[in-house]
Structure 1
Amino acid sequence: MGGAHDHAGPRFDAPVPPGGYAWWYIDALSDDGKHGLTIIAFIGSVFSPYYKRSARGDPLNHSSLNVALYGPRGRWAMTERPSGAVVQERDTLSIGPSAMRWTGDALEIDIDERDKRLFNPYRRPVRGTIRVMPEALNTVSFGLDPAARHRWHCLAPRARIGVEMKEPALSWKGGAYCDSNFGDESLEEGFRLWHWSRAHAASGSVVNYEGVRRDGSHFASALRFARDGTPEPAELTMVAPLPNSFWQVERKTRADKGEASVIKTWEDAPFYARSTLSTQLYGERMMAVQESLDLDRYASPIVQFMLPFRMPRSRS
């Protein structure tokens, strides 16, 4: 199901109910293929062990900016912050010292975080400015379940990005993608697992979304976005199995003839994997960004024990 928005671009002041979540997601690959990134701003962080332990009464009190820089001089940061460190406005979201701003034609992100490495107490700075410039904007969102308790809005199926990092010293440009998700309950209440991918075609973009809901029902959809961002349902191509990740997370995607290959696994966690793929969709060779998520694994006691070592919580 789809619903139209009256605001082309992110709405950072959207209300998040108790137990729910909101996130704004950007991924990008550099033109030279050497670098990649993901940035996710969370309110009611869906992967927070602290939010889960709190019975999810106050989503604003569990907010974070996840920054992952892939390739040479890579860094990974995700510090959870309380509600007093968060400012929500229509076009601006501040989480601690970092902030996102929608200017009407670009999403500007000021990053001031510190990374977190297992068994290493020294946290390196992650500082810089990112500018995401949509080449197309979409105003239609989609429910991921029959009651639309979980909603996905592809904001910019296609964009350009400029990366200017001071720490680590990185400067590059590339192609990007931006979306947002909203939920009225926790992610694991709605789903057991999902697989998602996006790819830029010569004209427009393609997004595949599929998984298993908590009630055992399956869902799968394919959307093709025109150059102007208009979405149209597309025929689902064949399932293309991918090798399990190092942590044995099951991965799959959609592709012509059911054939796709992993170029690089950027993120490999006990319940989650993010990769770049070589694939063919609707007769065209493309590079895709693909994600697989296992929410039963996320909810397991051993993963909940491990997460605070990777995701620290700040008092401010």
Structure 2
Amino acid sequence: MIAFIGSVFSPWYKWSGRREPQNHCCLNVVTSGLNGRFTMTDRGRSALRQSPDRLQIGPSSVTWTGKELVIEVNEWGAPPMVTPVRGRVVLTPRAVTRTEVLLTPDAAHLWRPFAPIADIEVSLTQGHRWRGHGYFDANFGTRALEADFAFWTWGRYPLRDRAMCFYDATLRDGRHFDLAVEITPDGEVRETTAPPRTRFQRNPWAVRRETRADRGTKPRPHLSLLEAPFYSRALVETTIDGERTLGMHEALDLVRFRQPLLKPMLAVRVPRRALWP
């Protein structure tokens, strides 16, 4: 689930020249399984309301109560499954960090791991009701992702006494950005040494995938969550410091994303609703 102001993967935002991010906002919700749905309605400025503790995008909202992040979902699935996706998600951080990471030297792109260790309760239509462990972060940028990056992978893996986050990126100028941090339940964030990058099975669209794994071990995809010609999101099993763990992983091929032919394909899955009463 991602709340966007300036929907970076929206073809409508790209075609607008990205001049006004507030005119291209959305709440992207993806659920999996037989009743899985995908929502990513590109909404106009009139749908956006912001305050220090609340972000409202059309009929959906994200609210910080001081202890919990409460997401009220009221969306419609994208074609071909055009049905309502409604409900509530409540994320309770074990701690909130104050860490901010520059993803490019000029700070055009930032990453904020607000709550890498959290408890979550999900209740959505189509039968998605469960409790488990969750994660909350944010990215900020003043340029398009594809203007600065060629490829990146990201992963968050829970361990017995901490969580590990890996950010590995190749910039368009050939430089590399490699980050490994460990986060304790009390919110302490420490940079650490990562095990080697290790490739594993490509996604169904042949997007390259890799993550960190101990030498002599190989990651494997456990559950596919979202697959596209330029993007993969999946639960991935890997080994870190001798501990086998199952975590969230994404791979993003921005060379492919820059291809103009992808934008009309995306428009089918990302409808535009410019006005909101």
Q: Which residue in 1 is equivalent to 2:253?
A: 294
Amino acid at match of 1:232: R
Q: Which residue in 2 is equivalent to 1:9?
A: none
1:184-223 Cα distance to aligned partner (Å, 9 max, x none) = 1111112111000001111110001001112221111110
Structure 1: which 5+ runs fail to align? Answer: 1-38
Aligned length: 274
Amino acid at match of 2:94: E
Task: Give the Cα–Cα distance (whole angstroms) in 1 for the partners of residues 112 and 9 of structure 2.
Answer: 20
1:257-315 Cα distance to aligned partner (Å, 9 max, x none) = 15211111211101000111111111211111110001111111211120100100113
Q: Which residue in 2 is equivalent to 1:136?
A: 95
SS state at 1:148 partner: coil
Instruction: Report the CA distance between 1:72 and its aligned residue.
Output: 4.3
Amino acid at match of 1:101: T
Aligned match of 1:181 in 118, 122, 139?
139
Amino acid at match of 1:306: M
Would you say the 8 A contact 2:23–2:43 is kept in 1? yes
Is 2:186 the counterpart of 1:228? yes
Q: Which residue in 1 is equivalent to 2:24?
A: 62
How do residues 115-130 of structure 1 correspond to structure 2 at under 5 angstroms?
A: 115-117=77-79, 120=80, 123-130=82-89
Amino acid at match of 1:243: Q
Is 2:241 the counterpart of 1:282? yes
Task: Give the Cα–Cα distance (whole angstroms) in 2 for the partners of residues 169 and 266 of structure 1.
Answer: 16
SS state at 1:152 partner: strand
Root-mean-square deviation (Å): 1.1
Amino acid at match of 1:219: F
Is 2:177 the counterpart of 1:219? yes
Aligned match of 1:239 in 197, 218, 223?
197
SS state at 1:70 partner: coil
Task: Give the Cα–Cα distance (whole angstroms) in 2 for the partners of residues 57 and 256 of structure 1.
Answer: 44
Task: Give the Cα–Cα distance (whole angstroms) in 2 for the partners of residues 95 and 186 of structure 1.
Answer: 21
Task: Give the Cα–Cα distance (whole angstroms) in 2 for the partners of residues 259 and 267 of structure 1.
Answer: 21
Would you say the 8 A contact 1:137–1:156 is kept in 2? yes
Aligned match of 1:161 in 96, 120, 123?
120
How do residues 1-316 of structure 1 correspond to structure 2 at under 5 angstroms?
A: 39-117=1-79, 120=80, 123-165=82-124, 167-257=125-215, 258-315=217-274, 316=276
Task: Give the Cα–Cα distance (whole angstroms) in 2 for the partners of residues 215 and 170 of structure 1.
Answer: 42
1:12-65 Cα distance to aligned partner (Å, 9 max, x none) = xxxxxxxxxxxxxxxxxxxxxxxxxxx100001110111111111100000000
Task: Give the Cα–Cα distance (whole angstroms) in 1 for the partners of residues 95 and 38 of structure 2.
Answer: 29
1:119-160 Cα distance to aligned partner (Å, 9 max, x none) = x3x610000011001112211110001111100000101111
Would you say the 8 A contact 2:164–2:181 is kept in 1? yes
Task: Give the Cα–Cα distance (whole angstroms) in 2 for the partners of residues 310 and 76 of structure 1.
Answer: 8
Q: Which portions of structure 1, spanning 4 or more consecutive aligned residues, are displaced by more than 2 angstroms? A: none
Task: Give the Cα–Cα distance (whole angstroms) in 1 for the partners of residues 89 and 223 of structure 2.
Answer: 23
Instruction: Report the CA distance between 1:229 and its aligned residue.
Output: 1.5
Would you say the 8 A contact 1:153–1:181 is kept in 2? yes
Task: Give the Cα–Cα distance (whole angstroms) in 2 for the partners of residues 137 and 274 of structure 1.
Answer: 25
Would you say the 8 A contact 2:31–2:225 is kept in 1? no
Task: Give the Cα–Cα distance (whole angstroms) in 1 for the partners of residues 189 and 266 of structure 2.
Answer: 36
1:153-181 Cα distance to aligned partner (Å, 9 max, x none) = 0010111111112x223321111111000
SS state at 1:132 partner: strand
SS state at 1:246 partner: coil
Task: Give the Cα–Cα distance (whole angstroms) in 2 for the partners of residues 236 and 172 of structure 1.
Answer: 32
Task: Give the Cα–Cα distance (whole angstroms) in 2 for the partners of residues 221 and 85 of structure 1.
Answer: 36
Would you say the 8 A contact 1:274–1:292 is kept in 2? yes
Task: Give the Cα–Cα distance (whole angstroms) in 2 for the partners of residues 91 and 204 of structure 1.
Answer: 28
Would you say the 8 A contact 1:237–1:256 is kept in 2? yes
Would you say the 8 A contact 1:87–1:94 is kept in 2? yes
Structure 2: which 5+ runs fail to align? Answer: none
Task: Give the Cα–Cα distance (whole angstroms) in 1 for the partners of residues 96 and 71 of structure 2.
Answer: 18
